[in-house]
Every structure is written in C-alpha cells, then in structure tokens.
C-alpha cells in the first residue's frame, strides 16, 4: 500500500480519475469495483506513441510545411517565444490567428515544431454542446497534450454563429481547456478570461510569393520565370496552396515550359476557386468574341477591360501606381442596358479571354432584411474570391446599388452603409467586379464616379439583329431557306432571339426537318406571347 493512502484518491475529481489514469470497472460498491490502467496511459508508459482512440473523430494531426513565407515564419517565431517566456505558474496565452489567408494552420504547425510539439486540429463544429460530454472532451485532450506532448488548433472558420448552443460550448472550451491552444477564424474572437496573442494573417507579399513559387518548383523554376510572374500577378496564394498547385501540376511530367505554365494556371484556378455556397453560381464561359454583336466603341472598351486585368500587376506594382494611391486599385465595371442585350454574354467573353472563373452573384441571397447581414454576405463573397481574382458578376444590381435614399430611419441609414461598404470592397478587390443594370438612371452619381468602366449595351437595331441571326445557329444545325434580313424585322433583343432560335430548333428536330422560317415563326409567336406582345404584319411579311 502507498503511504498515507486514502479513499479520496479515488473520488471523481481526484487526479487518478479526473485524468483517467485508471478506469473504474463495474461493481456494486467502490470496494468491489476493479481498477485497471487506461489504455492510452499504458501505451505512454510502454513508449508506444498512440493517439487516444477516444479523440479520433475530434482531432487530427497536422504536418509541417517547412517553406513558409518569411512574414508567416516570423509570426510562428513570435508565438513560440511568447509561450517559452510564460512563467510556469501563469496561464498560457491563447494564440489567435485570424483573417482570410488559408495558411493559419501552417503557421501554427511551424510554431509547434519550434517547441518540439505535435499539432492537432479540431473543427469547432464537432465540440459537444452537453456539459458532461464537453467536460469529458476537455479532460481527454488535456491528458493527451501532456502525454504527447501536443498543442491544439481550434478551427472556427466554419462555425455557425446562429447556433447559440455550439457557440457557447466553443466559448467555454476556449476559456477553460488547459494547454497550448490556437484559435483560427476569419474574424478576431473575444476571449475574456485568458491572455491572448492575436495576429491578423495576411497573404504573403508579392516578393514572398515569387520566392515561394521558385522554391516549390525546384529545378523547373528557371525555365518558368515568365509563367511564375503571370501566376503571382493573378492569383494571391499562400505557401500551402502554392505547394499543392506544384504537386498537382508537376506530377513527374516533362512538359515544355509553355505547357507546364498552362498546367500551373489551371491548377491555380482549381486551388483558388472560392467557396461561395448559395451566394453565387459559377458560370462556365462558352461565348467568344465572335458571338458578341456590339458597336465598335463597346467592343473596344471590353478589350480595354481585359487589358486592365492582364496588366494590373505591371502598372500598379512594377510601374509604381499603387504607391501613389491605395484607393481605386480594383477594376470595377458597369454594364448598362435593356434585358437580353448581351451583358452576361460579355462577362462570359471576358472570363474566357482571361481564363478566369466567372461567378454570378445571386442578389436575392445577398441582400438581407437584417441589419448588418448584407455586409457580411458581401464580405464573404469578396474574401472568398480574393485568392483567385475571379470575375464577380452582380446581375440586376439595381436591387442593391440603387440611389441612396435620404436618411429617414435606421433602415435607410444602414441601406446607405451597405452601398458604401460595397464601393470600398470593389475598390480594394484584386480582380474584376462587373455590375449589370437595366436602369442606369437608378444609380446615383457618387456610385458612377467610382466605377472605372461604363459599357452601354444598346437595344439592337435591324443591322445588329441580322448579325445576331447569322451567328445564332451552330454550324451543325441543319437549316433551310432562312432569310436573316426578314428575321431581323423581329424587334426583340439578342436574348429573345436566342430563345426563338432554340425553340425553333426543337420544333424542327421533333418534325424531323431542318430549321425553316415556319419553325421560327411558330417559336416567335411563343416568345412574343411570353413578352405579352403581338407579332405585327410588317415583322413577318413574306416569311412563308
């Protein structure tokens, strides 16, 4: 027996049972209950490294990326130094890493490596909400942190703030769990009862990204200098993403530099593709310049927009324009014109030309009746898209960007704040933001002053409509006897012409015939009925 043995050693709060060093077996009384050593403790005593099976499903080990950006490596060093300096009797500060950069886990892993620790991560949404289960998880982790030894990264990126019970459990876990703890998220959290080290994690600087690319590419880097410059100019990636891209694109291939550069570009698009959920829909571009029927001035402006996106890094960085002013560096465009005049198609053409993703923003999901929620939704969109520089298409933007009202109540004031917030984000956005409107007059002058390009999409005249009809049917579509001059009399926009042509193709296919004027006439009647219009005799004279 141990000296000074006492039954209090077996109480639930005593170290033997609190830390689960022993398990109490089934028995009618404490005297008859068998005691056995916990399996995790046994593995530790026998020198067998083994994560507690009870923690599997909650935590997972993280690996170290040795090639961090210097600015991120410095933050890791600051955290490690602060923890080393903390006196034994004092509570260890929580290291909070926040911001949109995805490399927060890599920074935490680097700090742990400096301290000789293993880093484990746990998504905040798996934290139990019942007090008993939460207490059990905290004790299991605290024991594991001592036995391993290890630090924990609590990932709050996907935490639903509307889930009050989960949020309360997470807050309690952060305040009460012992040991070395990282918290990651987009925004800084308030921690009340523990000292905190807070670091906003920004993406690596341009020069750092160049260095990271060259290191990750290894021997292939010298032949890819031009391609790397293009990648850094377009994609704003951190070290983990750059390593993933290189692993995906290189893959043991011996492609020439140009081909390898294309593979790297596509891998970057895939890696940086924003996760926008219900807020946006990705459009796969199919339209090309030849599909656009627009006046010369508008086509020239679209070419200029593409040039601004391609040369953004050179003009702002190499040529020093960014140093002159930090405002207005985003490329914001307004497409104005009636419905169906080619605004969305023009956005597709730009996306295809620039080989960038195009996202259609569903404004019905963005605008919220709850004060402050619209800005949060807009922030999520711009933050998620920043890495890729994707093209953002805010369709029918009048709903959000209309004339700012005079402030009569709190809702008017917050509506104006939403517009101001949007303008700020557009000016700072790394990519191209396109707004479309059917009513340019609904937009106020202050808004228009901060738009870099305004492209007016006119309702097509007869000559333009004839041009659209010439292009509307794919080469594979069998046609017979179509007269584009007669078809151009239909006084409708390009979007309606597409609907008519598509419906006519289905009618002809069903009849087993090539597309003829008769099929287009029937399809035109259907489209006009949808528009609550009637075909005039002048429009269809001489068709049949």
The DSSP secondary-structure symbol of 193 reads: S
Domains 60-194 and 280-456 share a fold: yes
The DSSP secondary-structure symbol of 532 reads: T
- Give the C-alpha separation, 169 to 156, whole Å: 12
- Give the C-alpha separation, 518 to 505, whole Å: 11
Angle at 19 between CA 15 and CA 20, to 5 degrees: 110
- The Cβ of residue 513 has, within 10 Å, a number of other Cβ atoms equal to 13
pLDDT score at 445? 76
CATH fold label, 462-540: Helicase, Ruva Protein; domain 3 (1.10.8)
Question: Do 184 and 153 contact (CB within 8 A), yes or no?
Answer: yes
Q: What ranges do the domains of the chain cover?
A: 7-37, 60-194, 206-272, 280-456, 462-540
pLDDT score at 389? 86
pLDDT score at 5? 59
Q: Which CATH number fits domain 60-194: 1.10.357.10, 1.10.10.10, 3.30.70.100, 3.40.50.300?
A: 3.40.50.300
Spell out the alpha helix ranges (H) of 372-483. Answer: 373-386, 398-401, 410-428, 445-449, 462-472
Beta strand 280-283 with 358-361 is antiparallel
List the structure tokens of 386: 């920043």
- Give the C-alpha separation, 405 to 326, whole Å: 28
Residue with tokens 């059990």: 136
pLDDT score at 377? 85
Beta bridge mates, 154 = 122, 183
Residue with tokens 């694109």: 249
List CB contacts of 510: < 8 A, sequence separation 6 or more: none
- Give the C-alpha separation, 224 to 218, whole Å: 10
pLDDT beneath 70, residues of the chain: 1-14, 16-19, 25-32, 252-254, 326-328, 364, 369-371, 399-417, 442, 444
The per-residue DSSP string of 156-189 comes to -TT--TT-HHHHHHHHHHHHH--S-EEEEESSPP
Instruction: Encode 149-160 in three state secondary structure.
Output: CEEEEEECCCCC
**Which CATH architecture fits 280-456?**
3-Layer(aba) Sandwich (3.40)
């Amino acid at each position: 027996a141990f000296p000074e043995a006492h039954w209090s050693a077996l109480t639930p709060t005593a170290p033997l049972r609190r830390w689960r060093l022993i398990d109490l077996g089934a028995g009618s009384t404490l005297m008859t209950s068998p005691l056995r050593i916990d399996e995790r403790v046994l593995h530790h005593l026998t020198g067998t490294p083994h994560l507690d099976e009870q923690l599997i499903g909650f935590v997972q080990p993280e690996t170290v990326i040795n090639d961090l950006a210097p600015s991120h490596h410095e933050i890791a060093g600051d955290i490690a130094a602060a923890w080393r300096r903390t006196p034994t009797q004092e509570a260890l500060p929580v290291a909070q890493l926040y911001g949109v950069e995805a490399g927060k886990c890599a920074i935490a892993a680097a700090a742990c490596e400096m301290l000789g620790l293993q880093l484990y991560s746990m998504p905040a949404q798996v934290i139990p909400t019942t007090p008993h289960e939460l207490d059990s998880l905290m004790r299991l982790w605290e024991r594991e942190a001592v036995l391993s030894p290890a630090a924990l990264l609590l990932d709050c990126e996907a935490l639903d703030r509307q889930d009050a019970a989960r949020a309360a459990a997470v807050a309690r876990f952060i305040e009460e769990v012992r040991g070395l703890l990282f918290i990651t998220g987009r925004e800084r959290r308030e921690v009340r009862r523990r000292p905190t080290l807070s670091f906003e994690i920004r993406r690596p600087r341009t020069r750092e990204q160049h260095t990271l690319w060259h290191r990750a590419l290894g021997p292939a880097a010298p032949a890819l200098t031009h391609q790397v410059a293009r990648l850094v100019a377009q994609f704003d990636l951190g070290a983990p993403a750059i390593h993933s891209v290189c692993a995906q694109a290189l893959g043991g291939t011996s492609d020439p530099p140009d081909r390898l550069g294309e593979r790297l570009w596509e891998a970057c698009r895939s890696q940086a593709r924003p996760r926008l959920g219900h807020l946006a829909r990705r459009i796969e571009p199919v339209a090309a310049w030849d599909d656009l029927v627009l006046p010369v001035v508008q086509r020239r402006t679209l070419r200029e927009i593409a040039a601004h996106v391609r040369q953004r890094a050179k003009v702002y960085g190499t040529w020093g324009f960014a140093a002159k002013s930090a405002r207005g560096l985003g490329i914001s465009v307004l497409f104005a014109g009636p419905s169906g005049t080619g605004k969305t198609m023009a956005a597709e053409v730009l996306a295809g030309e620039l080989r960038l993703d195009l996202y259609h923003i569903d404004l019905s999901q963005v605008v919220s009746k709850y004060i402050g929620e619209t800005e949060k939704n807009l922030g999520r969109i711009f933050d998620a898209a920043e890495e890729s520089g994707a093209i953002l298409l805010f369709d029918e933007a009048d709903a959000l960007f209309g004339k700012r009202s005079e402030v009569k109540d709190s809702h008017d004031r917050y509506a104006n704040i939403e517009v101001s917030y949007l303008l700020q984000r557009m000016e700072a956005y790394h990519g191209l933001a396109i707004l479309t409107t059917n009513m340019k007059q609904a937009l106020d002058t202050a808004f228009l002053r901060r738009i870099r390009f305004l492209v007016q999409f006119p309702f097509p005249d007869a000559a333009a409509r004839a041009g659209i009809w010439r292009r509307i049917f794919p080469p594979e579509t069998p046609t017979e006897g179509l007269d584009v001059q007669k078809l151009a009399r239909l006084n409708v926009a390009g979007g309606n012409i597409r609907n008519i042509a598509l419906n006519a193709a289905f009618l002809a296919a069903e009849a087993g015939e090539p597309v003829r004027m008769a099929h287009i006439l029937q399809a035109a009647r259907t489209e006009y009925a949808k528009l609550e219009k009637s075909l005039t005799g002048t429009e269809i004279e001489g068709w049949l």
